[in-house]
A and B are shown apart, each in its own frame.
Chain A
């Protein structure tokens, strides 16, 4: 295997025990290059613990985590060389300016020139305020500064724990677009964790779902939809009972029902116009067709079985 194909992060049978309690048990997965990898799970599932083990804030009880081939537990300084991260909130020294904060982190690595700091500052759009004290920054600006410090050394892996915490919708959108761009253009792998499912759907190429410290599934996310799952289509039609019959006749296995005065059917995307054509042929007035994709949320709840906290 050449370098481009080896996964940037490899977790092998990783477990974390605190006292006699097992927080993470036998976690194994790979994060490939150039992808946004989502880490999804309810609160208390062990997302943050796993991320903390990846960046060396917590020790690994059993198993191995390799980043660019270097073991986090045995060769920490080499492994962390390639990593830029924000763990939980981007905490900064509030009494220092944004620039001094970046200076601080730049000094902890070799070979970060002043030009690189200016470049990163421009990249996250903080040029006008960078010489002001961080305590005057809004949360969004702190988040940008957090991204800036993580990118200073051109990492090949970016780890963000709950990156959208406290961001407004515009900020979330911006961050999402930005992460996508980074992963595509610079071939950076991005690992994000979140409990906000709708966001992960929009942001990630792949998601790993964990619950109670165990890996439940790793899935690819295609567009706005999980691969292989059918969408739910809502039709506003008149007369609706007749429409329901036609929909049922359309496919034996179809799941159709009337809900809130609308026809609700589960359909694959390519079948939507076919059903519509049949309805129109039968003289039914179709006022609107709305696809509500079966969201990651539904899948997630299906898989994790709802509400229990570990």
Chain B
């Protein structure tokens, strides 16, 4: 099995295409970061204390004026954080290098797209090249070969995610002189009476981890289409269209139909449950995870069924 994955990796990373993908993701990110760095005038780095003093004053006044109103809780928490920051001399996140690192989570969709391309191609290309006839006449079962390709796709995604994360830390570190490198992020605890310091890097990692849910589902879908239809163009096109439009369509459907909650796209974003704002009333974290598991199992089942059972005729 290990050897099969090594083979897939060799076939993947010996192609210039793979490195062009790395270049596109990191290059686009660098471009956006540099644009923001050099063309945004407002730098909060130096005067964040003045800003915070103003905010504190403003917040206190609002709270006093409001009396008891529903938005107060959030405002109070905001005020607590500002006071804590001023007291302990902790600049806001967007005044440090971590601002840019946080922005890199927005580029994870590019990682997803690239991995969809890799997964959509990894089975189908063997058929296009005709090498499938060489590959399947060895003492390795078809199921193992399929699994090795699936795992190789996710190794690619992992590598690209790690590259994006470390690149963003290094780039932003250099741009901002590593300002606030070791600083924590502030949150208010559940009871709402105490400000706590949490690791910023941990928070970034959490954002990365949550977005991999979407990545895993769309890559699995692309992989399935690739092994069922043996066409990389179809697999890549369908998956990217689904990735870009699926949520939008589901959003519209959700306004009229309750069954929209059973669609894949209604469940890929798990943050909806963390923030307590599900797409459709009645959806829970457990429901979404169960739905994702069903889709995941179905996709993989069809990949396996078609890849292992069908004749290689062309």
Contacts and interface: CB of A to CB of B under 8 A. Distances in A.
Given A52-B312, A88-B130, A108-B3, A57 B136 contact: yes
Interface string B141-174: 1000000000000000000000000000000000
Nearest to A83: B137
Interface string B3-35: 110110011001110000000000000000000
Given A58-B311, A59-B311, A107-B7, A88 B133 contact: yes
A92 B11 CA distance: 11
A91 B129 contact: yes
A58 B142 CA distance: 12
Contacts, number: 75
Interface stretch (A73-81, A187-195, A248-256): A73-81
Given A104-B7, A107-B3, A56 B140 contact: no
Main secondary structure of the interface of A (DSSP, over half): loop
Contacts of B16: 95
Nearest to A59: B311
A246 to B, nearest CB: 58
Given A59-B311, A96-B14, A108-B7, A77 B140 contact: yes
Nearest to A79: B139
Given A85-B137, A90-B134, A108-B139, 14 more contacts: A57-B136, A57-B312, A76-B139, A80-B139, A91-B131, A92-B131, A92-B134, A93-B11, A94-B129, A107-B6, A108-B3, A108-B4, A109-B138, A149-B134
Interface of B: 3-4, 6-7, 10-11, 14-16, 129-131, 133-141, 309, 311-313
B137 A104 contact: no
A55 interface: yes
Interface string A245-272: 0000000000000000000000000000
5 contacts: A76-B141, A81-B139, A95-B14, A95-B15, A107-B7
Contacts of A59: 309, 311
A11 to B, nearest CB: 17
B133 A87 contact: yes
Contacts of A104: 7, 10-11
B14 A77 contact: no
A178 interface: no
A156 to B, nearest CB: 14
Interface string A49-89: 00010011111000000000000000011101101011111
A122 B64 CA distance: 89
A169 B309 CA distance: 40
Contacts of A105: 134, 138
A100 B14 contact: yes
A83 B137 CA distance: 8
B11 A56 contact: no
A274 B25 CA distance: 86
A93 B129 contact: yes
A149 B138 CA distance: 11
A287 B311 CA distance: 59
A50 to B, nearest CB: 13
A95 B14 CA distance: 7
Nearest to A86: B134
A145 B135 CA distance: 15
A78 B312 CA distance: 20
A243 B15 CA distance: 72
A85 B133 CA distance: 9
A80 B137 contact: yes
A78 B16 CA distance: 37
B312 A100 contact: no
Which 4 interchain pairs have the tightest Cβ spacing? Answer: A91-B130, A107-B3, A108-B138, A57-B312
Contacts of B136: 56-57
A108 B135 CA distance: 9
A77 B141 contact: yes
B137 A89 contact: no
Nearest to A92: B131
A55 B137 contact: yes
Contact of A96 (B10, B139, B313): B10
Contacts of B7: 104, 107-108
Contact of A77 (B10, B139, B312, B313): B139
A103 B3 CA distance: 10
Contacts of A92: 131, 134
B15 to A, nearest CB: 5
Contact of B138 (A80, A89, A90, A95): A80
Contacts of B139: 76-78, 80-81, 108-109
Contacts of B309: 59
A57 B311 contact: yes
A93 B135 CA distance: 11
Given A58-B311, A77-B139, A109-B139, A89 B130 contact: yes
A305 B41 CA distance: 88
B283 to A, nearest CB: 43
A269 B159 CA distance: 73
Contacts of A55: 137
A58 B313 contact: yes
A103 B7 CA distance: 9
B108 to A, nearest CB: 28
Nearest to A58: B311
Contacts of A95: 14-16
A92 B6 CA distance: 17
A81 B141 CA distance: 12
A218 B162 CA distance: 62
Contacts of A76: 139, 141
Nearest to B314: A88
A83 B15 CA distance: 30
B310 to A, nearest CB: 9
